[in-house]
């Protein structure tokens, strides 16, 4: 297909031989000639760091090592691919690799959400590459479009479904009417949820990705601690039922947005929560374990990127793209985009963020209830869009959808509603996203 | 927001001040500080080439020139942005710019479809950049994902709606039931079709984009002449009606695909035609002037990119992304990906391409017609999936949907059907894409 390039080989070390690592190794070995043609030099696998060497891992035994520290600083390694997961171990290995002048490709969103600054500075000092397309939304190109394709535009909002586990659960709840606990158990049986699902269902994974997306979209360092976070574990089948009655579905969204601060200055918001999404919004039809990211930019308008957000093969595709780019830079000179944090915008607290809300409450079925409830919303300057009354007697339900209001005003309203004598319970409060009213 | 970078300015020349050029100039002037922060040096507009200088063009008069030849070779110009359109004039200007060591950003798909090779070689000789994200699907990042994000994967198919005019017309025909001529006239009134709509409605624009996509997806030089092309001017309201009855809609698709040649070797196909698309396919819901591109890759699986494919602002967004990348390369060293043509795959003729077909014919309403028609398909080895009979008498309609067959086999079948005594007319033959049966 192609002549050997004649250039010196690019040595690659892979840390971790799980789903992603195995697929990266497979592609490196099976597509060696194609990769050489694309890079302009042979791309050679020097070693694979694993925790234990036992049994047949499907790769030549001489490539395996438990000594990751030595592997990442080996003289014949140019690029280190980190797909171990965790934070402290990969952090030290990546820093060691960068400080030894190796370029690094990682899929580790939890690490990046907290330590991008430190890692980017190490890469900058040694003038090497730090690529991490695989950290957000698996195979879907999101990092590169934001850092490169939209580099001359002004991004105003990024809103995405970037966690497959929660999207699988919410899609299944929407489809079957089953409750959260049963659906989570089923997701576990099918391999869509881990034994300890906390990182996914409580939104930590989505928040880490939101931190990464906000950092690059707004040229500001954003860490996981800056991201407001609610998970899906309190979502009920009643919420999905109510969402349907409002022509919506429920999705766990990671949202990064430019907002006006209360002092008029430009701020940014990064937040993760389950929200009602109108059925005609492009994110509403992203079901199962799929991911999608919608980007709104000043000149480009609204863009959407859709695909498989997790799994060994899709994640490996993103890792391999980064690896080829890092290798090309080694051969031809140049570097990929470095960290951009010049804008240094402040994070707006969640209380200042205006969205629409859905409030579901149980009320006594008595004359004047609706008027009293409406008065409470008005008192806190929260304008009501629609009200739906359901059932009769003390189990009567009242569903209120508001116009845009700040989180603070809504929280005060809900607290006040809870004190009203004829409001038995405020059973659910969710935000409504993707609607302009 | 940011400290001046202290680096020498990057000079930019813009050729053309139409919708795209005006928006590029606006962004360069209004976002100068942000662009400097992203590039690491001031980005300064040196001049704008226009055909005639008359009236107020909304830019400082001293920037305007009719002498494009001098502008593209000026010593203080580092990057030339070409948004004139046409072929011979921009071709000469771009070659002059590249040969003078300028990097070039262009949105000119017609030029690239025929002359990428020549332009890429000129860029290679001078080791400068040639970027063209804006040439396909406007603001939607497609070129960069294919050349970079998927650089370590193996693309098997690219299928897209990449022409807004025809998608607007087909969407409107589907929605209103109006016929082609009336809808085209309406599109012209609304500004979605040009006075001479030939390039759009006959598929030339979509074919140029298919050539560009196939070239980069398959690392092979593909020109517009290699692309099989049919336009939408023969699509009737009856076709859209029949499509609906089959749970499909009609879209003009640009398809680039790896196929097995008749000799068993790997080949590629690039083709543009209107096709039936099942309503549950992601491309079916891409309506109006929007564009979308679906990419299928070995490891990544199916990805979709969606957004505004035309218009001054979206196209300018893509141009500006390229401009910032080219400018960063000037400041920090390095170059963007160059032409990759190592695979050099052969183009498979359309006759060898297997797809499913929809055949609509008028038949005499007579016993034995269906059996005779079915026998004709069988004789040419074209397997029938479904048959629908409509109406009675000599105007009776027969709609046949086939399983996958080659274009050659289907053409022979249609020719033979036309000779059958009781087949009054074969009124329509369209391919059916996006269904696996």
- Extended strands (E) in A8-63: 10-15, 43-49
> How far is the C-alpha of A192 from the C-alpha of A195, rounded, in Å?
10
Q: Compute the nearest-CA separation of A146 from chain B (Å).
A: 9
Q: Are B223 and B114 in contact (CB under 8 A)?
A: yes
pLDDT bracket for residue A1 (50, 70, 90) = very low
How would residue A262 be classed by pLDDT, with cut points 50, 70 and 90?
confident
Contact B333 A332 (CB under 8 A): no
Which residues of chain B does A321 touch, with a Cβ-Cβ cutoff of 8 Å? 148-153
Which of A149, A159, A287, A327 to mutate against chain B (most B CBs within 10 Å)? A149
pLDDT band at B1 (very low <50, low <70, confident <90, very high): very low
Pick from A304, A225, A215: nearest CA to A272: A225
Q: What is the CA radius of gyration of chain A?
A: 24
Chain A residue numbers touching B324 (CB-CB < 8 A): 148, 151-152
Chain B residues closer than 8 Å to A154 by CB: 31, 34
d(CA A145, CA B148): 10
Catalytic residue among A126, A157, A209, A251: A209
Distance CA B294, CA B306 (A): 9
Question: Looking at the predicted structure, is the pLDDT value of residue A114 above 60?
Answer: yes
Angle CA(A23)–CA(A27)–CA(A32) in degrees, nearest 5?
A: 160
Shortest Cα distance, chain B CAs vs residue A388, angstroms:
31
**What whole-number distance in Å separates Cα of residue B285 and Cα of residue A54?**
50
Mean pLDDT of B368-375: 91
How far is residue B332's CA from residue B61's CA, in Å, rounded to a whole number?
32
Mean pLDDT within A384-390: 90
Catalytically annotated residue among B92, B126, B157, B209: B209
CA distance B95 to A361: 69
User: Does the beta-carbon distance from B342 to A37 stay under 8 Å?
Assistant: yes
Closest residue on chain B to A23 (Cα): B299
Q: Report chain B's mean pLDDT, rounded to a whole number.
A: 94
Q: Which residues of A touch B316 (CB under 8 A)?
A: 299
Q: Cβ A334–B337 below 8 Å, yes or no?
A: no
Nearest Cβ partner for A323 among B2, B139, B152: B152
Taking 60 as the threshold, does the pLDDT of residue A49 lie above it?
A: yes
pLDDT of amino acid B3: 55
User: CA-to-CA distance for B29 and B33, rounded, in angstroms?
Assistant: 9
Q: Do B27 and A299 touch (CB under 8 A)?
A: yes
Residue A15 marked as a ligand binder:
yes
Q: Which residue of A has its CA nearest to B280?
A: A285
Give the residue among A349, A414, A424, A353 at the shortest CA–CA distance from A380: A414
| Residue A109 known to bind ligand | yes
Question: If pLDDT is split at 50, 70 and 90, which confidence band does A437 have?
Answer: low
Q: In Å, how far are A207, A216, A221 from B38, measured between CA atoms?
A: 26, 11, 15
Secondary structure letter of residue A36 according to DSSP = H
Which residue of A152, A290, A308, A331 to mutate against B (max B Cβ within 10 Å)?
A152
Chains A–B, number of C-beta pairs less than 8 Å apart = 205
Contact B150 A317 (CB under 8 A): yes
B311-342 confidence digits (pLDDT tens): 899 999 999 999 999 999 999 988 888 899 99
Cβ contact A152–B320 (<8 Å): yes
Question: Is pLDDT of A395 > 90?
Answer: no
Asked if B303's CB is within 8 angstroms of A27's CB, the reply is no
pLDDT tens digits, one per residue of A159-174 = 999 999 999 999 999 9
User: Are residues B154 and A31, on separate chains, in Cβ contact within 8 Å?
Assistant: yes
The answer to whether B305 contacts A305, with C-beta atoms less than 8 Å apart, is yes
**Are B168 and B187 spatial neighbours (Cβ–Cβ below 8 Å)?**
yes
Which residues in chain A have Cβ-Cβ distances shorter than 8 Å to B304? Answer: 304-307
Q: How far does B232 lie from chain A, in Å, by closest CA?
A: 26
A321 is in an annotated binding site: no
Q: In order of start, what are the domains of chain B with their CATH numbers?
A: 10-139+312-332 (3.40.50.720), 143-309 (3.30.360.10), 353-432 (3.30.70.260)
The residue of chain A with its CA nearest to that of B151 is: A321
Confidence of residue A4 (pLDDT cuts 50, 70, 90): low
Which residue from B133, B144, B152 is facing A35, i.e. has the nearest CB?
A: B152
Please provide the DSSP assignment of B352-413 as one string: G-EEEEEEEEEE---TTHHHHHHHHHHHTT--EEEEEEES-GGGEEEEEEE-SEEHHHHHHH
CB atoms A219 and B37 under 8 Å: yes
Task: Output the pLDDT for position A309.
Answer: 87
| Residue A336: CA count within 13 A, CB half-sphere | 29
Summarised one tens digit per residue, pLDDT across range A278-325 is: 998 999 999 998 999 999 999 999 999 999 988 899 999 999 999 999
Which of these, A285, A204, A377, A385, lies nearest to B285 by C-alpha position? A285
pLDDT higher than 80, residue B408: yes
Distance, in Å, from the CA atom of A17 to the CA atom of B328, rounded to the nearest integer, reads: 36
Nearest residue on chain A to B338, alpha-carbon basis: A38
Distance from CA of A76 to the nearest CA of B (A): 21
In chain A, residues with a C-beta closer than 8 Å to the C-beta of B343 are 1-2, 34, 37
pLDDT tens for B180-205 read 999 999 999 999 999 999 999 999 99
The answer on whether A104 is annotated among ligand-binding residues is: no
pLDDT of residue A393: 65
Q: Contact, A84 vs A16, CB < 8 A?
A: yes
Chain B residue numbers touching A150 (CB-CB < 8 A): 141, 317, 321
In this predicted structure, the answer to whether residue B348 has a pLDDT above a threshold of 70 is yes
Chain A CB contacts of B152 under 8 Å are 27, 31, 35, 38, 317, 319-324
CB contact under 8 A, B1 and A343: yes
User: Helix/strand/coil (H, E, C) string of chain B?
Assistant: CCCCCCCCCEEEEEECCCHHHHHHHHHHHHCHHHHHHHHCCCEEEEEEECCCCCCCCCCCHHHEECCHHHHHHCCCCCEEEECCCCCHHHHHHHHHHHHCCCEEEECCHHHHHHHHHHHHHHHHHHCCCEECHHHCCCCCCCHHHHHHHCCCCCEEEEEEECCHHHHHHHHHHHHHCCCHHHHHHHHHHCCCCCCCCHHHHCCHHHHHHHHHHHHHHHCCCCCHHHCEECCCCCCCHHHHHHHHHCCEEEEEEEEEEEEECCCCCEEEEEEEEEEEEECCCHHHHCCCCEEEEEEEECCCEEEEEEEECCCHHHHHHHHHHHHHHHHHHHHHCECCCCCCCCCCCEECCHHHCEEEEEEEEEECCCCCHHHHHHHHHHHCCCCEEEEEEECCHHHEEEEEEECCEEHHHHHHHHHHHHHCCCEEEEEEEEEECCCCC
When mean pLDDT is compared across A223-227, B380-384, B394-398, B424-428, the lowest value belongs to: B394-398
CA distance A169 to B86: 52
pLDDT tens-digit series, residues B355-367? 999 999 999 888 8
Closest to B244 measured CA to CA, from B274, B275, B276 = B276
Give exposure, A391-407, as e/b (b: 16+ Cβ within 10 Å).
Answer: eeeeebbbbbbbbbbbb
pLDDT above 70 for A15: yes
Do B151 and A320 make contact, defined as CB atoms within 8 angstroms? yes
Confirm whether B209 is a catalytic residue: yes
Contact A203, A272 (CB under 8 A): yes
Residue B156 labelled as part of a binding site:
no
Q: Report pLDDT digits (tens) over B109-121.
A: 999 999 999 999 9
* 8 A C-beta contact, residue A79 and residue A42: no
User: ∠A21-A148-A434 over CA atoms, to 5°?
Assistant: 90
């Amino acid at each position: 297909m192609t002549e050997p390039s004649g250039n010196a080989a690019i040595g690659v070390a892979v840390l971790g031989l799980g789903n992603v690592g195995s697929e990266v190794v497979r592609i490196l070995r099976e597509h060696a000639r194609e990769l050489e043609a694309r890079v302009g030099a042979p791309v050679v696998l020097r070693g694979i760091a694993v925790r234990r060497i036992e049994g047949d891992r499907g790769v030549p035994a001489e490539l395996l090592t438990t000594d990751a520290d030595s592997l990442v600083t080996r003289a014949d390694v140019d690029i280190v691919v980190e797909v171990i997961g965790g934070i402290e171990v990969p952090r030290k290995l990546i820093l060691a690799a960068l400080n030894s002048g190796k370029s690094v490709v990682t899929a580790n969103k939890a690490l990046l959400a907290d330590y991008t600054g430190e890692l980017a500075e190490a890469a900058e000092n040694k003038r090497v590459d730090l690529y991490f397309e695989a950290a957000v939304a698996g195979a879907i190109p999101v990092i590169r479009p934001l850092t490169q394709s939209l580099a001359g535009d002004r991004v105003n909002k990024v809103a995405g479904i970037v966690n497959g586990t929660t999207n699988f659960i919410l899609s299944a709840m929407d489809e079957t009417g089953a409750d959260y606990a049963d659906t989570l158990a089923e997701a576990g049986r099918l391999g869509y949820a881990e034994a300890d699902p906390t990182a996914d269902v409580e939104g930590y994974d989505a928040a880490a990705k939101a931190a990464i997306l906000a950092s690059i979209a707004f040229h500001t360092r954003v860490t996981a601690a800056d991201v407001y976070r609610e998970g899906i574990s309190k979502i009920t089948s009643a919420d999905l039922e109510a969402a349907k009655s409002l022509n919506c579905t429920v999705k766990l969204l990671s949202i990064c947005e430019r907002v006006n601060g209360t002092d008029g200055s430009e701020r940014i918001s990064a937040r993760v929560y389950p929200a009602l999404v109108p059925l005609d919004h492009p994110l509403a039809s992203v079901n199962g374990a799929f991911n999608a990211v919608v980007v709104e930019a000043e000149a480009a308008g609204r863009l959407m990127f859709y695909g498989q957000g997790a799994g060994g093969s899709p994640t490996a595709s993103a890792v391999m793209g980064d690896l080829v780019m890092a290798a090309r830079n080694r051969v031809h000179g140049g570097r990929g985009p470095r960290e951009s944090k010049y804008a240094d915008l402040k994070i707006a607290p969640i209380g200042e963020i205006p969205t629409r809300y859905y409030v579901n409450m149980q009320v006594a079925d008595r004359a004047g209830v609706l008027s009293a409830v409406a008065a409470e919303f008005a008192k806190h300057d929260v304008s009501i869009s629609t009200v739906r009354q359901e059932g009769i007697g003390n189990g009567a339900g009242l569903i209120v959808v508001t116009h845009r209001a700040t989180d603070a005003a809504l929280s005060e309203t809900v607290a006040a509603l809870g004190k009203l004598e004829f409001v038995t319970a405020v059973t659910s409060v969710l935000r409504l996203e993707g609607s302009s009213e």
